[in-house]
A = this chain, B = another copy of it.
Amino acid sequence: MRPWGTEPVGRFDEHVFESEVLRGNPLGDPHERPLWVYLPPGYDEDAERRYPSVYMIQGLTGQLDSWRNRSPFRRNFPELADELFASGDAPPAIVVWVDAWTSYGGSQFLDSPGTGRYHSYLCDEVVPWVDAHYRTLAAPEHRGIAGKSSGGYGAMVTPMLRPDLFGGLATHAGDALFETCYADSFGEAVRTLRDNYDGSFDKFWEDFRSRPAFAKDSDALLLNDWCMAACYSTDEDGTVRLPYDLETSERIPEVWERWLAWDPVRMVPRHADALRGLRAIYIDAGKRDQWFLDLGAEAFRRALAEIGVTDVFFELFDATHMGIEYRYPLSLKYLAERLSP
């Protein structure tokens, strides 16, 4: 191991993508976004060859450059991906790294009046642009999407919504089974607001933005709840609706139902045909995941089985939610194999 990064064998093209649909988004976040396109070794040698493509999306708070964060004694995922293709261990694929960061942490890769039209940005802008500029196999059976945590969420729901675009998905510890992964901490959120912010999310945001982010343990919790509400239950006029009472944590049924409508586990029956048409489904999670996304993974797997989709990769492994980037090459290889011609 060398104490610094490696030169890739393939090639990372780094673009700034100018989105039309993100222009004027409600949070005032940039409509110009970084976009990386990784081309596997050999791409430049054979000018005719076309490749499957895999879109990598990130978890909450992810910005594109955090893919390159260095964990001690480890390679980061861009390095691992390059190594995977350089070794010939997986058939070559183009990997597209998409940024969907927002000032609330993320977008769940959905269109929402709370954050912006990130689903449209990904599906209607980025995908066509990549197909236009790179030699992809521009058909759903050769296009996949993968991510972890909220990125795993996006990887589950995007192909359900757009089976015309995506024929494969990989979710690592993706948000699912909302009554467990989200609702378990509503009480803690309410208490934190009560004890520190007079019960007000506005006061939380004021505090959060006045000092180093995540300096308080409770920051991640409050940010998560607000961001999810911004994604799942924001009114057309931009009003963010929380699914719980701010004094007691009692569920507010009509808002909570809006959340549940976006739960991948509950979406499966409504999108059964789309899911039955996929060529690759990869599901994993750590058995000690802090948000019980191993149970969410199992629930998603079972929902798939109930609609007859059983040809899936599924594994629960010994890990928490953190530090599991070493799993991503497994899903990338799986997708590359299944989405190759």
The residues of B that contact A310 with a CB separation of less than 8 Å are none
> Are the CB atoms of A74 and B287 closer together than 8 Å?
no
Most buried by B among A66, A180, A190: A180
The residues of B that contact A73 with a CB separation of less than 8 Å are 61, 213-214
Give Cα distance in the complex from A188 to B74, angstroms. Answer: 25
Query: Which one, B184, B287, B296, contacts A195 given CB within 8 A?
Result: B287
Q: Is A323 on the interface with B (CB-CB < 8 A)? A: yes
Interface size on A, residues (CB 8 A): 59
Minimum CB–CB distance for A103 against chain B, Å? 7
> Are the CB atoms of B33 and A3 closer together than 8 Å?
yes
Q: Is A204 on the interface with B (CB-CB < 8 A)? A: no
The residues of B that contact A29 with a CB separation of less than 8 Å are 3
Q: Considering the complex, which residues of chain A in the window 297-341 have a beta carbon less than 8 Å from any beta carbon of chain B?
A: 298-299, 302, 319, 323, 326
Give Cα distance in the complex from A214 to B247, angstroms. Answer: 29
The residues of B that contact A2 with a CB separation of less than 8 Å are 30
Give Cα distance in the complex from A19 to B135, angstroms. Answer: 44
Give Cα distance in the complex from A6 to B99, angstroms. Answer: 15
Q: Is A109 on the interface with B (CB-CB < 8 A)? A: no
Q: Is A63 on the interface with B (CB-CB < 8 A)? A: yes
Given A103-B1, A323-B214; A179-B63 close (CB under 8 Å): no
> Are the CB atoms of A65 and B70 closer together than 8 Å?
yes
The residues of B that contact A195 with a CB separation of less than 8 Å are 287
Q: Considering the complex, which residues of chain A in the window 64-78 have a beta carbon less than 8 Å from any beta carbon of chain B?
A: 64-66, 68-74
Give Cα distance in the complex from A295 to B1, angstroms. Answer: 35
The residues of B that contact A247 with a CB separation of less than 8 Å are 295, 298, 302
> Are the CB atoms of A70 and B74 closer together than 8 Å?
no
The residues of B that contact A63 with a CB separation of less than 8 Å are 3-4, 70, 72
Query: Which of A122-130, A248-256, A267-275, A276-284 forms contacts with chain B?
Result: A248-256
29 contacts between A and B (CB under 8 A): A3-B30, A3-B33, A3-B63, A3-B64, A3-B101, A4-B65, A5-B65, A62-B72, A65-B68, A65-B70, A68-B68, A72-B105, A72-B214, A177-B250, A179-B250, A180-B187, A180-B249, A180-B250, A183-B183, A183-B184, A191-B292, A191-B294, A191-B295, A212-B323, A215-B319, A248-B296, A248-B298, A249-B295, A250-B265
A-B contact sample (20 more), CB < 8 A, given A3-B99, A71-B213, A248-B299: A3-B30, A3-B34, A4-B34, A4-B64, A4-B65, A63-B70, A65-B68, A65-B70, A66-B70, A68-B68, A69-B70, A177-B250, A180-B186, A180-B250, A187-B295, A212-B323, A247-B302, A248-B296, A248-B298, A249-B295
